[in-house]
């Protein structure tokens, strides 16, 4: 079963650049790993989740950021939504 998540949540995981509220990433990660996950464990789980996302949506692998100034986030999110849609359907790992 798949579930739709906002593009900025998904890209936050695949790029390690937070583009949304942390609580949204936490909820997404719990969905992807199939249950509760402690904040301290998120960095360890992120590569596995990112790999799963990119295997389901290889087109997202072109999105890369080295750094992001907080003032640029709204414009980046707006562009991501134009390019990829508001949400992306993903299946858990």
- pLDDT tens string 5-29: 999 999 999 999 999 999 999 999 9
pTM for the full predicted model? 0.93
pLDDT at 57: 98
For residue 53, give every residue at least 6 positions away whose Cβ sits within 8 Å of its Cβ, in sequence order, or none.
10, 13, 14, 32, 60, 90
37-66 per-position pLDDT tens digit: 999 999 999 999 999 999 999 999 999 987
Res 70: pLDDT: 75
pLDDT band at 69 (very low <50, low <70, confident <90, very high): confident
Helix, strand, or coil (residue 91)? coil
DSSP symbol at 86:
S
């Amino acid at each position: 079963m798949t579930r739709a998540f906002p593009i900025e949540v998904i890209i936050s995981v695949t790029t390690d650049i937070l583009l949304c509220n942390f609580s949204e990433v936490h909820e997404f990660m719990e969905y992807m790993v199939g249950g509760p996950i402690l904040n301290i464990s998120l960095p360890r789980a992120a590569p596995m989740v990112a790999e799963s996302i990119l295997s389901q949506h290889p087109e997202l692998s072109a999105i890369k950021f080295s750094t992001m100034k907080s003032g640029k986030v709204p414009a980046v999110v707006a562009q991501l939504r134009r390019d990829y849609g508001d949400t992306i359907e993903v299946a858990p790992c």
